[in-house]
Structure 1
Amino acid sequence: MGLSETAERAAALHRQAVAAQREGRVHEAMALFQQALALHKDAEVYLDFGSLLAGLSQWGPAGAVYAAALKLAPDSPDAHYGVALSLHAQGRPAEAEPHYRAVLAACPGVGAVWNNLGVALQEQGRPGAAEAAYREALRHQPEDAGTWKNLAVALDALGRTAEAESAYRAALARNPEHAVSLNNLGGLALAAGRPDEAWRIGGRMAALNPADRNGWMLLGNAAHATGRRGEAVRASAVAVRLAPDDPAPRHNHANALAAAGRREEAVAEYRTVIRLQPDSLAAVDLAVELCGLHDTAGALAVLRGAIGRHPEHGAAWRVLGQTLTGALRPEAALDALRRAVALDPGDPAGWEDLAAAATLADRVAPSIDALRRVRRLSPAYNPALAQLVQQQRHACDWRDLPALERDLIGRMRAGALGVPPFGLLAVDTTPADQQAAAERWARQKAHGVPAVARPTVSGDGRLRIGYLSADFHEHATAYLMAELLERHDRRRFAVTAYSTGIDDGSPMRRRLTAAVERFVDLRDRSDRDAAQAIAADGIDILVDLKGYTAFARTAILAARPAPVQVNWLGYPGTMGADFIDVILADAVTIPPGEEGFYSEAVVRLPHCYQPNDRHRAIAERTPSRADCGLPEDGFVFCCFNSPYKLTPAVFDVWARLLRTVPGSVLWLYAGNPLVAGNLRREAAARGVAPERLVFAPPRPLAEHLARHRLADLFLDTLPYNAHTTASDALWSGLPVVTCRGGTFAGRVAASLLDTVGLPELVTDSPAVYEALALDLARDLARLAGLKARLAAARTASPLFDGDRFARDLEDAYRAIWQRFAPAGDPR
């Protein structure tokens, strides 16, 4: 066959191929294109064949065919365009770009090509260049909704959110049902803090296409952002039903379940996300929920797996640190959190967690440093300010403390959230201040906590009392409570201790376990499970011994596991909570007329509200003064209160006493070396030789009580008095001078002294407090008389009469039950 005949035969096959393609005979068309090209290489045939393959999304073969056309016709815009589309479709936008540009050089008015170039540039991470391409495309095709959407994506990537929103609205003006623009606009509204608008857009998407998962996801996210937890769960569940194998809707649904407090369901959903997408960072969210369920081992395993896959993921390291802190492994937590802040030094949450771990490890200096970093990164963040104040108080670092305290109090009085109430007890606040802060804190703690069902439990006629605490081990609260628990009348009261703290294996732990009818360890139970366990036991009166102190489990109480709930002993102030019915006090700690500052009903015990243990052993051997670093001669003022209770104003008084009483020393407790250095600096600034301050390290209780014999007079603090430390001093025979404060926390020592029969040691102003301490230091005979009266009070005073206290408390429980019992209960 001659050349012309071959070309004619190829042209005929080409025409037949095009006809077959039009009639849908695809495989026949492909064979005809190949036959035509076998006879004669022609650019037009290649272009039509490439179009067929592209229509079938066979982008690899199509690209090869278009490339062959380009060899034959290097200036062909169609060939360049075919190559560009093929490369782009195969995920090679950088290689596609020059071919798009070649098309535009020849045909600059084709808007679709400018749009595709913009997409290729966007995919290369060049949103600025993409914007220019999209704007050129819109110059030629201004009514194309897709190009407006693409422009919006580029503007959003450039951080020009307002312009991006305008571009999405322009797309929707051209096509009101443009689903991607609706979805992205809803996402921007949500990110901008307009969840109601996002909710409306999600509803519109769901109405337009109920089978579109994205609309339901947007509805769920918008509901989640506004705290409508039930709606968030329902909407995200629809998205999951529409796309059960897509991890994104499942992750959103898991988040909604977690926010709704449905932790077990959230855990199952997060696990499904990870099964569908093994490298998903949903593992971090899963670990958080496992921690909430007190499955620390499970959380640690998940986090270590996530970190193994993503070693540079700061959030995973941070949650690992949180988990280790919660497991009381602060040194390991510090290692993890140092890694977290190194990876993301601008995240204040990581520094806050680092401060918490350092505090638990009793490393005050790094805790203070971390909290100062939080303050620099987030100056308006109230919890960091509150914790910084508390940590500087623990270190007796007073250099800028007055200004920090004024700032904290000012924020609290302005209605700030996130101010822990306990930290306000030791600063100059009023009962009204403390109530306001407690009420806000209680609302935060109770938010979203559903009440547990309380089943009807048949009893034996006894009143069922439950004590809830994390301190059933070697702890100040346990020292006070032990004898009371042993002396409860088991004929009339069924007593259960619910422990949420560690088992330290100590003799005290064993004593407390034996002292009650039932001892239930709830430490590894979730708040919800713990509340359900208490409710299932049919507890009548649940007594919280923690309040808002460290390791409190307030959410257990917020779930209302008992019909009557009482705040007692562990927290000297109101909890401000509608789920706490009663606060136990006495006429000194809460004087008549101050009931309005307490959200609870005030029930007063006839003597001091504080129990004591007559079995607290005092070591027979008294150490020598030399053993304790004290001078052989000279008056010994002492204060064994925690350092955070010391204030510059009280220290001023103590410094004047030291200057006035020759040879005297001040004996203080200091478990942290920072305390000694800071207080010696403060003493020198007040004209007192630093060596006149002597510091007592921690010792076992019996030895600590024995060394009280070396002191002459205990000086109390204000505005937060000595509590257990005052009882220790009085039990050891050491007189305490106090100044009655304006709040519960500042009146406890006065209550103890009244009850022990030494009311003359209670003063009502700092000046009188100072004068009394000075008088006693100069009148050793009077001081000896006080010590003799204290020795007699060990057996005669109600303060140390465990039987009388138990009966008084039980009478109070009976009265409380009669007042607050559910209708129809006969007991």
Structure 2
Amino acid sequence: MDHPETAERAAALHRQAVAAQREGRVREAVALFQQALALRKDVDIYLDFGGLLAGLSQWGPAGAVYAAALKLAPDSPDAHYGVALSHHAQGRPAEAEPHYRAVLAGCPGLGAVWNNLGVALQEQGRPAEAETAYREALRHQPEDAGTWKNLAVALDSLCRTDEAEAAYRAALSRNPEHAVSLNNLGGLVLAAGRPDEAWRIGCRMVALNPADRNGWMLLGNAAHAAGRRGEAVRASAVAVRLAPDDPAPRHNLANALAAAGRRDEAVAEYRAVLGLQPDSPAAVDLAMELLGQHDMAGALALLRGALARHPDHVLAWRILGQTLAGALRPDAALDALRRAVALDPGDPAGWEDLAAAATLADRVAPSIEALRRVRRLSPAYNPALAQLVQQQRHACDWRDLPALEGDLIGRMRAGALGVPPFGLLAVHTTPADQRAAAERWARQKARGVPAVARPAVAGDGRLRIGYLSADFHEHATAYLMAELLERHDRMRFAVTAYSTGIDDGSPMRRRLTAAVERFVDLRDRSDRDAAQAIAADGIDILVDLKGYTAFARTAILAARPAPVQVNWLGYPGTMGADFIDVILADAATIPPGEESFYSEAVVRLPHCYQPNDRHRAIAERTPSRADCGLPEDGFVFCCFNSPYKLTPALFDVWARLLRAVPGSVLWLYAGNPLVAGNLRREAVARGVAPERLVFAPPRPLAEHLARHRRADLFLDTLPYNAHTTASDALWTGLPVVTCRGATFAGRVAASLLETVGLPELVTDSPAAYEVLALGLARDPARLAGLKARLVAARTASPLFDGDRFARDLEDAYRAIWQRFAPAGDPR
């Protein structure tokens, strides 16, 4: 038992400590509390001392004092509450929770304690229990704005956003100036796609406190979401001035600058963010901006650094994969994208990227599987369906292809967006279908692309022609174009090649570079920069050789760098674009009367629209039949078209031809092993032994041309004909049987055959095609006569007359310029 004098002395010191605390003499109060406790261990002294320390935010000592009080009075609500507050303030909500509950067990009507319990539960990741606690708190203190705000946070984390919004509004009805509720409500409505409402909330925040960075950040984010680029930059810049050392406002400003096209300033801000916060996700955004500046090495370094710190960063893996694919490193891209989809298998965009990389790597099977995953995750996503159709065609996987194609065509005719026009060329569609799809695609590609300024450039009287392509290397388009470029009249035409593709260091690349007056490599330039470079050169007629095929840079054309822009050779169909003025064709590919199916003005060349190179070398040595995998005897039907051009209906015809010509074989091109397996299965289903299909692997062009000598008859495809492959066959003396199709892509072989002087090899129905092919296989003398005519045509036909083609094309350019030239141009 305490001595009465000691107890009295302790009580006196206690009273003095409380008085000193009230008068602000904190240090003296601490000493007095300690002296009192040295004399007597009293619960009230501990509680008051704990309150003093808590008021000073000395939570560690405060906790120890409250814990001492709790030992003396285990049922004391005040002691439990002090311990709870101490644990909670030190970031230990799980330890605080039982003490809050102990308080509430004895005093269940304390709304503030229920609120604190809710916060502790929320911080432990238990929002449903936190909601219960907040609602109990509000039962006792319904006018407390802070508790309404906390309830809203819990509801939002439970994905009950409508209820969360209502709770924030309840908080603001109690306190219209509750800044946190305003800010959180603004973020909620912005995420719900209501940027104008978020803007109004941000304006309220700024009016209440112009020095609050959060209000300006909300304004910047709302303007950014609404596409008001200038306002987004201005508001975000104010937030940065208010908090220059906070990486969050700087990150927002960088995003706003990037969206406004102010790329250099955006890069500087992203770098500033990383200076403040090295592990910030801004590293990924900066990498994307560097990619826009074609700084691939810098982007790769940033991405790899970000992944070293955050190996589970899905977006970084995705962008790394996209970057590696853009650098034509598809195997490395596949590895990165497989990491991305493993981390987030429910994101269809990751699977779509994986499919694209697999396609680039010529890995058809994983591409098909990835596209099927996209379809399961996002059934209404049109690009995935279109790509799946195309990839299954590349693999000759026809098992469910008719249904997929029917679905694709139905969506396209219903006005679907995101259907790449190129994929429709090999499907049975009409010219009207192809124009409608191309027009939708062109609008998507041109959206947000401003026209570049075309400065006045002094000329020398020659017409300046620019050829834009990604295929100025070993490629089918280059094989066709090389001699034409060499034979342009330099006195009348200034010719520039604009390359957006790889430099493969090949002899063809060197030949093309030497063939033109200027060869400009734009591969590492942005679309905008590339367009400005073309405009600065004063090009009169820009000829696009890509259309909507792989690696096209349509945005360059959408920026209108030349006054006249032409679609030719690379894309056998309309581009449906108001930034393309002319399509070059001939009377076979676009017959008179079909102009309405083309958005461009149709200009026809007098012979075939397709150039040819009569200098294409054919290897002197002809491989033996055994070298080619062919039997020693028997008729050889062949088709070296890309496998995606083959169709089940066409294969039915070929199977009947094989059955009708004993000992015959069908020689096909197949760079992908899936093709051989699938086609052999299809052959067996049609009563043809699988060994009667022979597959030709890729070979250098001269060797590939030489092996044509071992074939007897080339069978064309429909609805997409042989184009360069038909020219190859005719150049080697191999007759081609074709069926005239309903669209440009299905009429090219007819144009080639009519120009080379063999119109009798053009049929107008699949039945006639089959009859003609069978008749030729059974009539060696007639076939020999056709081959002899082809030998003569190598020197006599307009198809292989490079000088004549160059003059015809130049006459067309002159006529186009006279029709479309800007007013007042004297040329």
Global fold match (TM > 0.5): yes
User: Deviation string for 1:555-600 (max 9, x for gaps)?
Assistant: 2222222222221111111222222222222222222222222222
**What's the counterpart of residue 130 of structure 2?**
130
CA shift at 1:689, angstroms? 1.8
Overall identity of the aligned pairs, in % = 92
Tell me the TM-score normalized by structure 2: 0.96
Bigger shift: residues 64-73 or 455-464:
64-73
Report the CA distance shift for 1:238/1:574 in structure 2 as closer, same or farther (over 3 A): farther
In structure 2, the CA distance between the partners of 1:237 and 1:440, relative to structure 1 (3 Å rule), is: farther
Task: Sort the Cα spacing of 1:356 and 1:183 in 2 relative to 1 into closer, same or farther, 3 A.
Answer: same
Q: In structure 1, what is the Cα distance between the partners aligned to 2:126 and 2:718?
A: 63
Cα distance in 1 for partners of 2:252, 2:2 equals: 70
Per-residue CA deviation, residues 13-46 of structure 1 (Å, 9 max, x unaligned), is 4444434443444444444444544555443333
The answer for the alignment partner of 1:20 in structure 2 is 20
CA distance in 1, matches of 2:609, 2:231: 47
- Closer, same or farther: CA 601–723 of 1 in aligned 2, 3 Å: same
Supply the distance in 1 between the matched residues of 2:478 and 2:547 (Cα, whole angstroms).
15
Mapped partners of 2:623, 2:570: distance in 1: 31
Note closer, same or farther for the CA distance 1:2–1:719 as it changes in structure 2 (3 Å cut). Answer: closer
- Distance, in Å, in 2 between the alignment partners of 1:624 and 1:42 is 109
State which drifts further: 191-200 or 468-477.
191-200
In structure 2, what is the Cα distance between the partners aligned to 1:601 and 1:56? 82
Moved more, 196-205 or 425-434: 196-205
Question: Is the contact made by 2:668 and 2:696 (CA closer than 8 Å) also made in structure 1?
Answer: yes
SS at match of 2:35: helix
Following superposition, the deviation at residue 717 of structure 1 comes to 0.7
SS in 2 for 1:737: strand
Structure 1 CA distance for aligned equivalents of residues 756 and 269 of structure 2: 60
Cα gap change, 1:464/1:619 in structure 2, threshold over 3 Å: closer, same or farther?
same
Range with greater deviation from structure 2 (386-395 or 763-772): 763-772
* Deviating more after overlay: 554-563 vs 212-221: 212-221
1:452 shift after superposition: 2.6
- Kindly state the Cα deviation for residue 634 of structure 1 after the two structures are TM-superposed: 2.5
What's the offset of the Cα at 1:407? 0.8
CA RMSD of aligned residues (A): 2.2
Change (3 A) 1:493 1:374: same
- Give the TM-score, by structure 1 length: 0.96
Deviates more, 1:788-797 or 1:727-736: 788-797
Q: Give the superposition deviation at 1:189.
A: 2.6
Of stretches 794-803 and 58-67 in structure 1, the one that deviates more from structure 2 is 58-67
Residue by residue over 1:331-387, the C-alpha shift from the partner in whole angstroms, topping out at 9 and shown as x without a partner, is 112222222222222222222222222211111112111211221222122111111
Q: Report the equivalent of 2:313.
A: 313
- 1:61-98 CA deviation, whole Å, 9 max, x = no partner? 33333334334443332222222222211111111112
Residue by residue over 1:628-666, the C-alpha shift from the partner in whole angstroms, topping out at 9 and shown as x without a partner, is: 122333222211110000011111111122222222221
Does the CA contact (< 8 Å) of 1:739 and 1:766 recur in 2?
yes
For the pair 1:292 / 2:280, whether they are aligned, the reply is no
Structure 1's unaligned 5+ residue stretches are: none
Q: Aligned-pair distance for 1:3?
A: 5.5
Contact 1:260-1:448 within 8 A present in 2 as well: no
CA contact (8 A) 2:584 2:602 kept: yes
- Compare 780-789 and 389-398 and name the one that shifted more: 780-789
Contact kept? 1:293, 1:527, Cα under 8 Å: no
Rounded Cα–Cα distance in structure 2 between residues aligned with 1:410 and 1:238: 51
Change over 3 Å in CA distance of 1:20–1:562 after alignment to 2: farther
Q: Give the Å deviation of 1:240.
A: 2.9
**How much has 1:807 moved relative to structure 2?**
1.6
Q: Say if 1:183 and 1:215, in contact at 8 Å, map to a contact too.
A: yes
**After the TM superposition, which of the residue ranges 318-327 and 264-273 deviates more from structure 2?**
264-273
How far off is 1:6 after superposition?
Answer: 5.2
Residues 43, 72 of structure 2: 8 Å contact kept: yes
Task: Kindly indicate whether the alpha-carbon contact (under 8 Å) linking 2:733 and 2:791 is maintained by their aligned counterparts in 1.
Answer: yes
Q: How far did 1:263 drift?
A: 3.5
Shift, 1:275, TM fit: 2.0
- State the secondary structure of the residue aligned to 2:494: strand
Q: Quick one: structure 1 residues 133 and 612, their matched pair in 2 at CA, closer, same or farther if it must change by over 3 Å?
A: same
Local SS of the residue matching 1:627: helix
Partners of 2:586 and 2:230 in 1: CA distance = 44
Shift of 1:801: 1.2
Distance 2:159 2:307 in 1: 30
* Structure 2 CA distance for aligned equivalents of residues 411 and 218 of structure 1: 39
Mapped partners of 1:268, 1:491: distance in 2: 48
In structure 2, relative to structure 1, the CA distance for the partners of 1:427 and 1:233 (3 Å cut) is farther
Deviations 1:89-117 (CA, angstroms, capped at 9, x unpaired): 11111111122122222221110111011
Q: Secondary structure at the match of 1:570?
A: coil
Q: Tell which deviates more after alignment, 32-41 or 628-637.
A: 32-41
1 CA distance for matches of 2:211 and 2:763?
Answer: 75
Q: By how many angstroms is 1:723 displaced?
A: 0.6
Q: Is the 8 A contact 1:798 1:805 kept in 2?
A: yes
Native 8 Å contact 1:325 1:357 kept in 2: yes
Distance of aligned partners of 1:438 and 1:77 in 2 relative to their CA distance in 1, 3 Å threshold? same
- Give the SS at the match of 2:628: coil
Question: How far, CA to CA, are the matches of 1:665 and 1:160 in structure 2?
Answer: 66
**1:510 Cα deviation from its structure 2 partner:** 0.7
Are residues 740 and 95 of structure 1, via their aligned partners in 2, closer, same or farther at CA, if it must alter by over 3 Å?
same
Contact 2:348 2:374 in 1 (8 A): yes
Cα distance in structure 2, aligned partners of 1:55 and 1:658: 95
Inter-CA distance 581–26: structure 2 relative to 1 (3 Å threshold): farther
- Select between 333-342 and 426-435 the one with higher mean Cα deviation: 333-342
Tell me if the contact between 1:122 and 1:130 (Cα under 8 Å) persists in the aligned partners: yes
Change over 3 Å in CA distance of 1:23–1:580 after alignment to 2: farther
> Offset of 1:523 from its aligned partner?
1.6
The 3 A distance-change label for structure 1 pair 224 and 652 is farther
Bigger mean CA deviation after superposition, 693-702 or 473-482: 693-702
Answer whether contact 2:2 2:40 (CA < 8 A) is retained: no
Structure 1 window deviating more from structure 2 (292-301 vs 728-737): it is: 292-301
* Residue of structure 1 in register with 2:732 after alignment: 732
Alignment size in residue pairs: 827
**Conserved in 2, the CA contact under 8 Å of 1:650 and 1:718?**
yes
Does the 8 Å contact 1:261/1:449 carry over to 2? no
1:70/1:244 CA distance change after superposition, 3 Å: same
In structure 2, C-alpha distance between the alignment counterparts of 1:98 and 1:794, rounded to whole Å: 95
Alpha-carbon distance in structure 1 between the residues aligned to 2:225 and 2:250: 17
Bigger Cα displacement from structure 2, 96-105 vs 465-474: 96-105
Indicate if the aligned counterparts of 1:564 and 1:581 stay in contact, CA closer than 8 A. Answer: yes
Give a deviation string over 1:604-648, Cα, whole Å, max 9, x none.
222211111111111122222222122333222211110000011
Distance 1:564 1:244, change over 3 A: farther
3-state SS of 2:520 partner:
strand
Question: Contact 1:434–1:573 (CA<8 Å) still a contact in 2?
Answer: yes
Tell me, which stretches of 5 or more residues in structure 2 are unaligned?
none
Give the C-alpha shift of residue 425 in structure 1: 0.8
SS of the residue corresponding to residue 626 of structure 2 reads coil
The question of 1:709 aligning with 2:713 is answered no
CA distance in 2 between partners of 1:725 and 1:230 (Å): 52
